[in-house]
Chain A
């Protein structure tokens, strides 16, 4: 489903070239639960951003759902992100003036989906992520765990091919983090593909497949 071959990405930092990714090859199958671990600067976030089409590789090709997405235009990338990628961020990234329900709905609104078609999907998402009673609350009236659940529901709203979570528990206490992880795992159990970037080995250990990165290269790929 996701096929990266020879992906390299170089940044210029203070006039010096930093190789964030060096010729990474990676395949992710449908329904996989994958964690990417490694110290900061190992390239794990860059890899996730490239998978999420927020960043472009300097070399290499990226196939998503058997389609080469390496050379798409900016607008086409936006459309693919909208339809196939669900992002979950460390800092939630909810729009502060919108309610929980409006935040969840946002990708559908941007996609121009009819309100009549949005309503049942929204109701289902609110129920699925236990947010029915918080639907009318704004982010500042929600707890961290609730915020992240809203973010996951938003990521799921367009029925994406893959959920990409960048340190989803990094801004939560341990207990809430476990709970949010449980929500992501439920997405996986229901057949979704989940990629989690984390530096926490305990969280990484919960996934079926564990990628370890160092200096822009995948150094370990364990399953089971």
Chain B
């Protein structure tokens, strides 16, 4: 049988039972649409989370004091954790490929101005903080490059903190109190919005040396190291460790490259996308059962036709292929409809709920189509085999 004839014969069979065809294909369409819609949401979530993290840049390595380890080992072996100091941060600037090493300490503090006061998140940071984390200044400038050990009492306000404290007035040059000490406002940051629930606008930035004194702490919370984006991560990590271990005498700190964190997030989020795709896949299987049912009925109804086809020269294989072809065509029709359905649903969702991140991953869409085809073929195998194994004489007599 020629390919074109095969296709048109199969089409004619499906056209003869239009309602049945549409309903059966609908089963597959719903399955495909579910897969596409769910993976679109999953993938949207994926991108959303990754974007949240990468908006500060991806070439950042965090160095934190202390090390995760098992305690209670041999007595006498005293584990001491030396604090991470501003000098450590200064030393790290000399490591290979490093662009900036920003000391960071974070806490809460009350800021007051002209009788108004507000509790905000306080960041004690180095002057390079803004550049390292791609945070821009709306007014004035970021903290100046003072000697980090004796910095001047300058403060930079987050956009929300500035608005709450000063209303619409320009705060540049005004004095505020931060945790009881007097600071001069030199800048206001651009709004950054919330990142994973943290409001980055309700903040005040002061020099890290002053913040350490204010909180009466010895150690920084973190040193954030940025490096040349093209530099090999392992080499950068190695350079950091060499310098810090030399200064501390042991590796009593933890180095966490953001890229590794992103990889972990990526793995988790991929698993979520896969899981929702699998949930959609269940409805695809249900659609496959629909094809199985309809084809079983069709074989029973068309037994005498199968007998005739055998009598006029169709082989068993030919009959098998005809019914498999019908199953595959049903699946492909349903799959195409499902693709359009799922995609437009994802688009509609995006229009109705712009806050919900939606992104259609086309690799999944293609995969879903292939799965639909496979489900159709798998569902077609049993009835098609039954049809092929009918005895031509019995089939002819079935009327």
Give me the interface of A with B, judged by CB distance under 8 Å: 49, 52, 54-55, 74-75, 78-79, 81-83, 87, 89, 91, 93, 95-98, 106-107, 109-112, 114-115, 154, 158
Contact = CB atoms under 8 A, between A and B. Distances in A.
Interface in B331-354: none
Interface string B286-307: 0000000000000000001101
Given A93-B304, A97-B13, A52 B311 contact: yes
B16 A97 contact: yes
A54 B396 contact: yes
A155 to B, nearest CB: 8
B241 interface: no
A78 B314 contact: yes
Given A49-B393, A55-B393, A89-B396, A109 B313 contact: no
Contacts of B396: 54, 89, 93
Contacts of A98: 12
Given A81-B312, A97-B15, A98-B12, 11 more contacts: A52-B311, A78-B314, A81-B311, A87-B312, A89-B308, A89-B396, A93-B396, A106-B309, A111-B1, A112-B2, A112-B5
B392 interface: yes
Interface stretch (B161-169, B209-217, B315-323, B373-381): B315-323
A111 B399 contact: no
Given A95-B305, A112-B2, A82 B312 contact: yes
Nearest to B9: A109
B13, B16, B311 — which one has the most chain A CB atoms within 10 A of its CB? B311
A10 B317 CA distance: 28
A87 B309 CA distance: 11
Interface in B229-266: none
Contacts of A52: 311
B299 to A, nearest CB: 15
A55, A78, A93, A115 — which one has the most chain B CB atoms within 10 A of its CB? A78
Given A91-B399, A97-B16, A110 B308 contact: no
B312 A110 contact: yes
Given A95-B305, A109-B2, A75 B315 contact: yes
A152 B313 CA distance: 16
A106 B322 CA distance: 14
Nearest to A81: B313
Contacts of A115: 2, 4-5
B310 interface: yes
8 contacts: A54-B392, A75-B316, A87-B312, A89-B396, A93-B396, A96-B305, A106-B312, A110-B312
Interface in B1-53: 1-2, 4-5, 9, 12-13, 15-16
Given A54-B396, A95-B308, A79 B1 contact: no
B5 A74 contact: no
Nearest to B304: A93
A54 B309 contact: no
A62 B283 CA distance: 54
